[in-house]
Structure 1
Amino acid sequence: MTERPAPALDQRIFITGANGFIGRAMAERFRALGATVTGVDLVADPENGVVAGDITQPERWADELEGADVVIHTAALLGAAYSLEKAWNVNVLGTHRVLRATLEAGVPRFVQFSSIMAYGFSFPDGVDETYPVRIEYDPYTDTKINGEAVVLAAHATGEVDVTVIRPGDVWGPGSVWVRSPIAEMVKPTGFPLPNGGRGVFSPVYIDNFVDGMVLVLAHPEVTQGQIFNLSDGVGIPCREFFGRLAEMSGGKVVYLPIRIATRLADMVGALIRRTGTHSDLAAGTMHMLNRTGTFSIEKAERVLGYQPVVTFDEGMDRVAAWAADEGLVRN
């Protein structure tokens, strides 16, 4: 088995969204490699150096940026279930404000988390970083693209060294790609999938993604001003990915034509959100699950030496073990 990359990281790293699934995994790995890691999130975690704060109001926590070598900006509203105004306020204006605070603190490096959704819903199979981005009828794609524009403009003017990361569908035990589908699958209505589940899911197991980020941090000389896709380099039919989750949880997947799936997701998701409960059900989610292609990681492999270690089957075994511990598996 290929070993995980383990360069020494003698760096002071500040993470926005530090309590998130990805933020916590990165922080743990970075510390194990010698880094000092702090961050900000809506809820403080003093034990792990995380202060409470809103990225749209960095003046309340910007002092924490002093002395950092790099800011990794992960905080965002994820998914299609938000209004464009709300998503823009966090994903674009919030990014601008975090970037300005970074510059004022004299931090020399900024890593922006974008998304493979910057390519939109329709693109050539094996799309790479040279392909143009595409704004769709979806707040998430719109705001992630515009967030990229904010930070790349700062890099172009020489204000700060920027790297843009476009993660694939980051998953693993406890991730939103596991918890949310299982929560829907075990309901009588089941988890909706468009077009017979023939859409392509582009997974990146959390350990693989963190390994990619380790390599990004370890090689600033080749990542400045660059954009990298980080996924497992494979496409999994949605019926297989979500079918495995349904099998382990005893839930069900419901296959619907895309036109019906988008309308139903918008309607049901809106009703759920009116009760004050967040739901990722939205038309954009269904279009995302109906993608027909996947994404090239050749650049990350060539420039960074990136190589996914955890396979899809191994990842599912780990998820199944976690789900059993959580009491989410079928008896």
Structure 2
Amino acid sequence: MNLQNTTLLITGIDDFIGLRAAELAIAQGMKVRGLQSSSDRTIAQNLGVEVIVGSITDPKIAQKACQGVDIVLHTAQLTQEAGPIKEFREINVSGTINMAKAAKGAGVKTFLHLSSVMVYGFDYPNNITESDRLSGDNNPYCQSKIEAEAELLPLNSPPDFGVIVIRAGDVYGPGCIPWIVRPLLMMRQKLFAYANDGKGVINHLYIDNLIDAMFLAIQKEAYGEVFNITDGQETSWKEYFMRLAATEGLQAPMSVAKDEIKLFLKIRSQGQKLFRKKADILPESVDFMTRPYAYSITKAQTLLDYKPKIDLEEGLRKTSAWVQKTDIQQLVK
């Protein structure tokens, strides 16, 4: 599929992934429409995006958003580390299927769903592939992403309607809350620590590399396929967080036992609730930051000719430049 002069709908365009996808799509000659839940349309509209405000779970909104669209890039999701499974299913499962059915009914050709490597859970073999076992590991985010894929893939019916699933690694870059903003804010307060000597692998994925992979999959019409996408670098958690601290000249974080960090975060979050503040980081986040191994991207390299263009050094440099001109504290309020 030639992407030029196509109309692309991006759900969750107010999130950092959706917004960057819009910028890069427009640069490639695509017309972009965005669907977002927040009422502030300013940022996306300044890019030249037509913005629709509403929920991905609303059938009428979904139908309106999909009219006259060639491609849907479905990035909207609930990404908290924990919470009631019902809330995750409403957004990540029901919302996804609502958008996909609306797209199919509107004659959309391609529906690309942003999933996550978290469908493999927290304990998985090294270089796990797309055909290996999935595991929710009693986590609502992991479980809801598995369920969304299971309900979505049967809707694939090319050439009329093609579904593609991208299981993204740990996406970072300008605007990223979990892997950039939260750790830096805690490092500034000397409250950040990594668990168990930073062993294991962060499967970092610079945002532009993710969007390149998405566009490659759409261009190659890889319908019915599922792809793991990361930067393809095996970076330890310790190295990542040390390099992140260095971008601001901050003190190197220390290592603390996993159970001790979880206890600290549990007490901290309970204290924040006591003062009617939203917990800025949940104890369950430690599970996400202690995964052991790399995910295989061989399939994407083979079928899509995916080659990550931006390595960790350049990605952190670009991100640091954004941090220097941004009040990141305001992003988590």
Gaps of 5+ in 2: 329-333
Q: Distance in 1 between matches of 2:193 and 2:53?
A: 36
Q: Distance in 1 between matches of 2:23 and 2:187?
A: 31
User: Residues 298-322 of structure 1, C-alpha deviation per residue, up to 9 Å, x if partnerless?
Assistant: 1111111110111111112222222
Instruction: Report the CA distance between 1:75 and its aligned residue.
Output: 0.4
Instruction: Report the CA distance between 1:227 and its aligned residue.
Output: 0.1
Q: Note if contact 2:107-2:160 (Cα within 8 Å) is conserved in structure 1.
A: no
Query: Which residue of the partner structure matches residue 325 of structure 1?
Result: 325
Query: Which residue of the partner structure matches residue 244 of structure 1?
Result: 243
Does the C-alpha gap of structure 1 residues 121 and 19 become closer, same or farther in structure 2, counting only changes over 3 Å? same
Q: Distance in 2 between matches of 1:251 and 1:78?
A: 29
Query: Which residue of the partner structure matches residue 4 of structure 2?
Result: 9
Query: Which residue of the partner structure matches residue 331 of structure 2?
Result: none
Q: Distance in 1 between matches of 2:212 and 2:299?
A: 15
Runs of 4+ aligned residues of structure 1 deviating over 6 Å after TM superposition are: 156-159
Q: Give the SS at the match of 1:262.
A: helix
Query: Which residue of the partner structure matches residue 308 of structure 1?
Result: 308
Q: Distance in 2 between matches of 1:327 and 1:59?
A: 37
Aligned length: 318
Q: Give the SS at the match of 1:37.
A: strand
Q: Note if contact 1:191-1:252 (Cα within 8 Å) is conserved in structure 2.
A: no
Query: Which residue of the partner structure matches residue 185 of structure 2?
Result: 183
Aligned positions of 1:83-122 closer than 5 A? 83-122=84-123
Instruction: Report the CA distance between 1:50 and its aligned residue.
Output: 1.7
Q: Give the SS at the match of 1:293.
A: coil
In the alignment, residue 318 of structure 2 is paired with which amino acid? R
Q: Give the SS at the match of 1:34.
A: coil
Choose between structure 1 and 2 for higher RCO, CA contacts under 8 A separated by at least 6 residues: 1
Q: Distance in 1 between matches of 2:261 and 2:130?
A: 30
Q: Note if contact 1:95-1:150 (Cα within 8 Å) is conserved in structure 2.
A: no
Aligned positions of 1:128-147 closer than 5 A? 128-147=129-148
User: Residues 197-225 of structure 1, C-alpha deviation per residue, up to 9 Å, x if partnerless?
Assistant: 113111111121111112112111xx100
Q: Distance in 2 between matches of 1:184 and 1:94?
A: 33
Instruction: Report the CA distance between 1:164 and its aligned residue.
Output: 0.5
Instruction: Report the CA distance between 1:271 and its aligned residue.
Output: 3.9
User: Residues 133-185 of structure 1, C-alpha deviation per residue, up to 9 Å, x if partnerless?
Assistant: 11112111111111111201222799832111001111112312211111122
Between 54-63 and 201-210, the greater mean CA deviation after superposition: 54-63
User: Residues 236-280 of structure 1, C-alpha deviation per residue, up to 9 Å, x if partnerless?
Assistant: 111111122223332553422122223333442354356243523
Gaps of 5+ in 1: 1-6
Query: Which residue of the partner structure matches residue 169 of structure 1?
Result: 170
Aligned positions of 1:207-226 closer than 5 A? 207-220=208-221, 223-226=222-225
In the alignment, residue 253 of structure 2 is paired with which amino acid? V
Which of 12, 16, 23 in structure 2 is aligned with 1:21?
Answer: 16
Q: Distance in 2 between matches of 1:238 and 1:33?
A: 34
Query: Which residue of the partner structure matches residue 65 of structure 1?
Result: 66
Between 17-26 and 61-70, the greater mean CA deviation after superposition: 61-70
In the alignment, residue 247 of structure 1 is paired with which amino acid? A
Given the alignment of the two structures, is residue 148 of structure 1 paired with residue 149 of structure 2, yes or no? yes
Q: Give the SS at the match of 1:229.
A: strand
Q: Give the SS at the match of 1:208.
A: helix
Q: Note if contact 1:135-1:142 (Cα within 8 Å) is conserved in structure 2.
A: yes
Query: Which residue of the partner structure matches residue 197 of structure 1?
Result: 198
Instruction: Report the CA distance between 1:233 and its aligned residue.
Output: 1.0
TM-score (norm 1): 0.89
Q: Note if contact 1:197-1:255 (Cα within 8 Å) is conserved in structure 2.
A: yes
How large is the Cα RMSD of the aligned pairs?
A: 2.2
Q: Distance in 2 between matches of 1:103 and 1:327?
A: 41
Q: Distance in 2 between matches of 1:62 and 1:271?
A: 43
Q: Distance in 1 between matches of 2:29 and 2:75?
A: 21
In the alignment, residue 31 of structure 1 is paired with which amino acid? I
Q: Give the SS at the match of 1:166.
A: strand
Q: Give the SS at the match of 2:156.
A: helix
In the alignment, residue 179 of structure 1 is paired with which amino acid? V
Q: Distance in 2 between matches of 1:149 and 1:158?
A: 20
Aligned positions of 1:277-292 closer than 5 A? 277-283=278-284, 285-292=285-292
Does the C-alpha gap of structure 1 residues 155 and 266 become closer, same or farther in structure 2, counting only changes over 3 Å? farther
Q: Distance in 1 between matches of 2:3 and 2:63?
A: 27
Q: Note if contact 2:8-2:33 (Cα within 8 Å) is conserved in structure 1.
A: yes
Query: Which residue of the partner structure matches residue 4 of structure 1?
Result: none
Q: Note if contact 2:119-2:146 (Cα within 8 Å) is conserved in structure 1.
A: yes
TM-score (norm 2): 0.88
Q: Distance in 1 between matches of 2:84 and 2:158?
A: 31
Q: Distance in 2 between matches of 1:105 and 1:114?
A: 23
Q: Distance in 2 between matches of 1:88 and 1:267?
A: 28
